[in-house]
Structure 1
Amino acid sequence: MRNFLICHRIPERTFKIKGHYFPVCSRCTGIYIGAFAYFVYAYFVYVNYSLSLLLCACLMVLPTFTDGFTQLLGLRESNNTLRFTTGLLGGLGLGILVKALKWMIIMGLHPL
């Protein structure tokens, strides 16, 4: 039984090494790696969460959404390399957004 809360885990959309499939699909692998990489980066380097950075982060998520949504609609078929690449970019963007939200909560700032 697949756990759809984490990932659909369709074998054709999942990386495989020596006959063993990754626990998540290639897009989710990219998202998790991208977000984790940003969290590690932000731990060591101070990041000023400006409006332009938040806008950039939103734009970084857009290719992931576009790739997944156009594939869902059947407009085209994606491949694992594109899924991973857009997932990596989207994961970085999501990491920025999550850390910015945390920063706003800690600092007592309101988004508007």
Structure 2
Amino acid sequence: MDVTYLICHRRPERSFHIKGHQFPVCARCTGFYISVILYCIYAFFNYINYSMQFLIFAVLLLIPAAIDGFTQFFELRESNNTLRLITGLCGGLGLIILIKAFKFYFL
């Protein structure tokens, strides 16, 4: 049973390829994973003040990925891998900030 669909749809036309080999995740998920990993490394070495303004900023970072994803899902337009990567980087950063803030305040 292939459980990799749980982390990404892995559609070839929405994934990066290097020398004929497809990335294990799509372009948007690549951006999400890169920004999550980099933020976790940064937050490990630096104190982060999770103020209300910072949390609003995090929510705003999620909006481009949501717009790009939903407009593609409803076939209103077709995105490209560069835009998917950029919206994934923004969305991943917003998501990890919210997750870390939740951990900071509630755990």
- TM-score band, normalised by the shorter chain? over 0.9
> Distance in 2 between the 1:77 and 1:60 partners?
21
Equivalent residue for 2:28? 27
Identity of aligned residues (%): 58
1:47 aligns with 2:69: no
> Once the 2 structures are TM-superposed, how far is the Cα of residue 4 of structure 1 from its aligned partner?
2.2
Distance in structure 2 (CA, Å) of the matches to 1:93 and 1:42: 14
Give 3-state SS (helix, strand or coil) of 2:4's partner: coil
Q: How many residues align?
A: 106
- Corresponding residue for 1:90? 91
Q: 1:70 to 1:102 in 2, by over 3 A?
A: same
State the superposition RMSD in angstroms. 1.1
Match status 1:68 vs 2:69 = yes
Distance in 1 between residues matched to 2:82 and 2:3, nearest whole Å:
23
TM-score by length of 1: 0.91
Segments of structure 2 that go 5 or more residues without pairing to the other structure are: none
